[in-house]
Amino acid sequence: MENPHDSFHFLFNPRSVAVIGASPNPLKMGHQCLLSLQGSAFPGPIYPIHPQEKEILGMPAYPDLQQVPGEVDLAILTVPASGAISALQACQKKGVRGAVIITAGFREIDNSEGEKLQEKMAAVANQGGIKIIGPNTFGMVNIHANLNASFTPIFSSLKPGPISVISQSGGVSHLIAYQALDDGVGLGKVIGLGNRCNVDFADLLPFFARDDQTKCLILFIEGLEDPKPLIAAIKNLAPQKPVVAMKAGRYSASLKAARSHTGSMAGRYEIYEASLRQAGAIVMPEPDELLDTAKILSMLPPPAGRNVAVMSFQAGPGILLTDAVVRHGLRMATFSGSTQEKLNYLLPPLTIRTNPVDMAFARDERAFEETVHLILHDQNVDALVIFLLHHPFMTPRRIKDPVLRQKQRSGKPILLCANSPRGLIAEEIQELETNGIPVYSLPDQTIKALKGLIQYGEAVKREKR
Amino acid sequence: MENPHDSFHFLFNPRSVAVIGASPNPLKMGHQCLLSLQGSAFPGPIYPIHPQEKEILGMPAYPDLQQVPGEVDLAILTVPASGAISALQACQKKGVRGAVIITAGFREIDNSEGEKLQEKMAAVANQGGIKIIGPNTFGMVNIHANLNASFTPIFSSLKPGPISVISQSGGVSHLIAYQALDDGVGLGKVIGLGNRCNVDFADLLPFFARDDQTKCLILFIEGLEDPKPLIAAIKNLAPQKPVVAMKAGRYSASLKAARSHTGSMAGRYEIYEASLRQAGAIVMPEPDELLDTAKILSMLPPPAGRNVAVMSFQAGPGILLTDAVVRHGLRMATFSGSTQEKLNYLLPPLTIRTNPVDMAFARDERAFEETVHLILHDQNVDALVIFLLHHPFMTPRRIKDPVLRQKQRSGKPILLCANSPRGLIAEEIQELETNGIPVYSLPDQTIKALKGLIQYGEAVKREKR
């Protein structure tokens, strides 16, 4: 039997790609796929397959796969459903290792015809050792390999990073990837499973265990015939690499829709949620929280406990952060007597020197750094959140050096909640994140991400017991 | 007695502004305030007041207010607390109508000295008929009057619009204004109340009832000595102009901080929330939801009920929207028999033709428009949410004409949830919003805003009974 690691390797790291269904018409998926591949600067040869055209988008085209001069590792299929099986048979003949089948009209159709076609597809693929992403998918990307094998060219602009995504919904994959583009968060692989012909969540998780480029995995689940293999795979993976998961279809109205879409039983939300959590996944209720949480999990080890300290230069946002800490079940740390005594001496008696600490009237840098130092070295504190509001007087650059110095002297997580009009501080955020300080924009968002990190630590501890 | 309408008029629409504490040093608030005024293209004269300088930022400076040649309607004070009273006395002498007192160090200080100073300030101001914003504030802006009377120059880039903000927290005012800058949402007046020397929430609400430039009001409350006048003022205003409110300090940890910051009893959250709701305000738990909700309230009349229809071109996001509808206590509409019959005929049997309608396989424009038409004219439907994912094949422009045509034929709200990398569709969003289609980015965000609109309708109905 072929080593599954190897099969997935060529699927995600092909040396050459063919697009079966390539088209000179920009309104065709096969055209957009070529734009995606070109845009991502894929280093190997790209072979458009088209019955008549000699050249598409400046690339020599071939009438069929057999005419392609070299080997083809990955094929992207955008042909109609009726032609998909014969295209896949051609792939098998050519020795293709992986296929992205964008074509829709299989099991998701509410009749037995689609189901049968997909079974045949799986049989051909398995016989040829071809791993299929899809059918009925937007495709997939592997940013580390400069591979955008999707019908969405803008994914080529994604920054490489340690977070990978496996999603049953193409739409939600896009939501997450667009957020990553906006927030400058790096991604590794983004995979739209589609109808999961012969590659499902549970098949991919062992691959991600070995994938050094992925430090944290995001799963978006609509519904599975049998969730047990996935739950078992998460149980294996999670202690080593954090898994952030979301299950759609929480209520009967949405469950019905999820069932229609996936062509499979969606399953009760509560059972999924409990099983995912028990297996060690961090379950989030909203798609934007998946990426926010994965970011911190890919950057920092979890803190020892739930006690949070807050520092801000404006009282209002400090209060919002405090509200969020309590609402999300974390605790506002009570400083030790010795810390409190030193803070009372260090900071003027104008406002709040207890947690949340209001730094409004203590803007000199020595006092700021000493406050960070005292808080981080208090045994009652597990993590520190600093709020910073954009102003000409105050940008992240202003606090960067003291925060990084103190971070080096303490293993505790420091998060920055830096609120600013978009884009003004992108470089400063980048620099802080490169140095292990995750930056978020809103108080609630910051605390939810921190909670995810803490929950992961608790899940790992539970596992070890 | 002076007409309060008139006093507030010159505060927000001054013909001239003096900055007492103006400085050539960019690190001084008095310098930033001059930049703000210049940046907002304030049409009247700006008078920097400085003991020695003859000119600051290209503007002639004056040693004191009495030397200013013309009348001064508004004075911005950035002098130290010790000099604030004499500066205000100079304002009184000069006939100044309104003052923004940025200077801190009054009642928010935990000693009787600050309290006394502030009482004296109020006495001087009341004697002279001067309305004070502050002390201890970032200032205020009136975008419609090209007036940025704050220490934050970037507020000059705000777009004029029908939403005004009154906030007890300067930090949260910034959060909201920065979000407005990012989202291209127009604002009218943004007011940081600070210590509320002689202008409080309840004083301003009657002014906003008469302010034609404001259609919707946002309030951010930390805590008041006596909330009753505010509650009464909301009860008067809300049936005519929607009020969106947030109270910080939900839990004991944050309540303590709020009390320290405002120097006043913060009051139990539950009591505030119940009173605000009862008075007809829409209460939101997060600052970003304030602006999202105010946007839809300033654009659309509320629908008749809670029955929501969802259309999407991708099943996954349709399911997320459905989850959000149920989670936020709205209902997924069940189409009438006649609508359902027509949809079954109109749309291919590939996926979901019930609510949420999945349009994935019905991309021709006639079918799309007819679906919108059928749904809007179904008596079981009160509002329609359309989800659109950015793709070269599909941007808001593609659906704009049919949606606007159908909107004209129906009074029901249509919301667009358009997910896209930021900036790519800003103009299209602008065009839709100008035509009464509010656009949001995330499913949960969209439904929360719709819920606010529905709640407002319910509050107005309750009031009328």
pLDDT in tens, B322-362: 999 999 999 999 999 999 999 999 988 766 789 999 887 66
- Chain A nearest CA to B146, separation (Å): 20
Question: B250 and A352 in contact by Cβ < 8 A?
Answer: no
Per-residue pLDDT tens over the stretch B56-70: 999 999 999 999 999
| B350/A110 CB distance under 8 A | yes
Asked if A181 lies within 8 A of B327 by C-beta distance, the reply is: no
pLDDT in tens, A73-130: 999 999 998 899 999 999 999 999 999 999 987 776 666 778 888 999 999 999 999 9
Packing angle, helices A228-237 and A269-278, rounded to 10: 30
All residues of chain A having their beta carbon less than 8 Å from the beta carbon of residue B350 are: 105, 108-110
Q: Do B389 and A175 touch (CB under 8 A)?
A: yes
**Is A254 in Cβ contact with B110 (below 8 Å)?**
no
B264, amino acid identity? S
The pLDDT score that the predictor gives to residue A393 is 78
* Cβ burial A129-147 (10 Å sphere, 16+ → b, else e): bbbbbbbbbbbbbbbbbbb
Angle at B371 between CA B367 and CA B376, to 5 degrees: 155
Please give the single-letter amino acid code of residue B206.
P
The answer on pLDDT for B27 being more than 70 is: yes
Percent of the residues in chain A that have a pLDDT greater than 70, as a whole number: 95
- The shortest CB-CB distance from A109 to any of B261, B350, B444 is to B350
Residues composing chain A:
465
Q: Look at the alpha carbons of B286, B288, B291, B295 in this order and tell me if their dihedral is positive or negative.
A: negative
- pLDDT per residue as tens digits for the range A264-309: 555 688 899 999 999 999 999 889 999 999 999 999 999 999 999 9
> To which H or E segment does residue B417 belong?
strand B414-419
User: Residue-wise over A46-82: b if at least 16 C-beta within 10 A, else e?
Assistant: bbbbbeeeeebbebebbeebeebeeebbbbbbbbebe
CA atoms lying within 13 Å on the CB side of residue A41: 6
Mean pLDDT of B210-235: 95
Q: Look up residue A283 and give its two tokens.
A: 């379950």
Whether A131 has a pLDDT exceeding 90, the answer reads yes
Cα Rg for chain A, rounded, in angstroms? 25
Is B322 within 8 Å of A254 when comparing Cβ atoms?
Answer: yes
Q: What is the pLDDT of residue B110?
A: 60
Residue pointed to by tokens 């406002």: A351
A 10 A CB-CB count for B409 gives 11
Distance CA B94, CA B77 (A): 14
Mean pLDDT of A222-238: 95
A151 contact residues in B (CB cutoff 8 A): 391
- Does the pLDDT at position A363 exceed 70? no
pLDDT tens digits, A376-428:
999 999 999 999 999 887 788 888 999 999 999 998 999 999 999 998 889 99
**pLDDT tens by residue, B394-415:** 788 888 999 999 999 998 999 9
**Cα end-to-end distance, chain B, whole Å:** 36
Nearest to B204 by CA among B128, B98, B95: B98
Per CB-CB distance under 8 Å, the chain B contacts of A81 are: none
Interface test with A, best of B102, B313, B319 (most A CBs within 10 A): B319
Instruction: Give the model's pLDDT for residue B6.
Output: 64
Nearest CA in chain B to A266: B319
Helix (H, G, I), strand (E, B) or coil at B263: coil
Q: pLDDT for B287-319, tens place per residue? A: 999 999 999 999 999 999 999 999 999 889 999
Are B293 and B449 in contact by the 8 Å Cβ rule? The answer is yes
The confidence score (pLDDT) of residue A3 equals: 47
pLDDT of residue B3: 47
Within 13 Å and on the Cβ side, how many CA atoms surround B9?
Answer: 7
ipTM: 0.94
Give all domains of chain B, ordered by start, each with its CATH number. 1-138 (3.40.50.720), 158-299 (3.40.50.261), 302-464 (3.40.50.261)
Pairwise CB contact (< 8 Å): B254 & A152: no
pLDDT range class, residue B4, cuts 50, 70, 90: very low
CB contact under 8 A, B351 and A261: yes
Least confident of A69-78, A118-127, A190-199, B101-110: B101-110
Instruction: Say if residue B79's pLDDT is above 90.
Output: yes
Q: Tell me the chain A residues in contact with residue B290 when contact means C-beta distances shorter than 8 Å.
A: none
Q: DSSP code of B134?
A: -
Q: Which residues pair with A139 in a beta bridge?
A: A150
**pLDDT-derived band at A4, boundaries 50, 70, 90:** very low
Chain B residues within an 8 Å CB radius of A359: none
Angle at B266 between CA B260 and CA B268, to 5 degrees: 140
Q: Which two tokens stand for residue A222?
A: 């609509």
- Residue A167: list chain B partners with CB under 8 A: 316
Residue B176, pLDDT > 50, answer yes
Is the CB of residue A384 less than 8 Å from the CB of residue A415?
yes
**E strands within B4-128?**
17-20, 46-49, 55-56, 59-60, 74-77, 98-101
